[in-house]
Amino acid sequence: MPPRAVLLDLYDTLVDGDWQGWRTELSTLTGIDEDELSMAYHVTREERNTGAYATVEDSVVALLGAAGLAAPSEDLVHDVVQAEEAFGGRIRLYDDSLSTVAALRERGDRTALVSNCSHATRSIVEQLGLPAAFDAVILSFEVRVRKPEPGIYLAALQAIGAQEISVRAFDYLFRPTNALTERLLRRIG
């Protein structure tokens, strides 16, 4: 049997963040209604996730523009970037995330973190030490394609050196409890 590739999502699968708290914090900082910010995240998601904006600052300008703030000041953009970085420091791994990945790798499975995300995620991934835990880390804004497009999965498989391989992908739908390790290992046999 060929080795297996296990592709794991980041947000709400391996890590948790206080997303509502972040929207409230961003609303207070910018003076923009939380619902407007939520819509702006939705409207700009594809571009932010596929690297259409060259920098995190460009991404913030686009987000604020979509929320109705056409020409944000450099100071506000800087403050939002700083707040986003601080929020990234409050993202936490679920208790069983690293042990699950380690158990999969011990079995000989090849692992890749595959996430739809924007620029801010790279520092979160580094801060949590995830590049050392996985065989590969594939972030959509870096490969300029996002799930469910095949290109992001192909990038992951190429990054882990997969040729003939059995693939299992896990996303946030599998993460309602803290028993990720048991469920994953049971599902993939």
pTM of the entire structure?
A: 0.83
The token pair at 8 is 């794991």
91-101, pLDDT tens digit by residue? 999 999 999 99
Query: Radius of gyration over alpha carbons of the chain, in Å?
Result: 18
Distance, in Å, from the CA atom of 71 to the CA atom of 97, rounded to the nearest integer, reads 41
28-80, pLDDT tens digit by residue? 999 999 999 999 999 999 999 999 999 999 999 999 999 999 899 999 999 99
DSSP3 helix / strand / coil % (the chain, rounded to 5): 55, 15, 35
Distance, in Å, from the CA atom of 95 to the CA atom of 14, rounded to the nearest integer, reads 9
Would you list the domain boundaries of the chain? 4-16+92-188, 19-88
Tell me, what's the pLDDT at 5? 83
**Architecture of the domain whose range is 4-16+92-188:** 3-Layer(aba) Sandwich (3.40)
Q: Residue 146 in 3-state DSSP?
A: coil
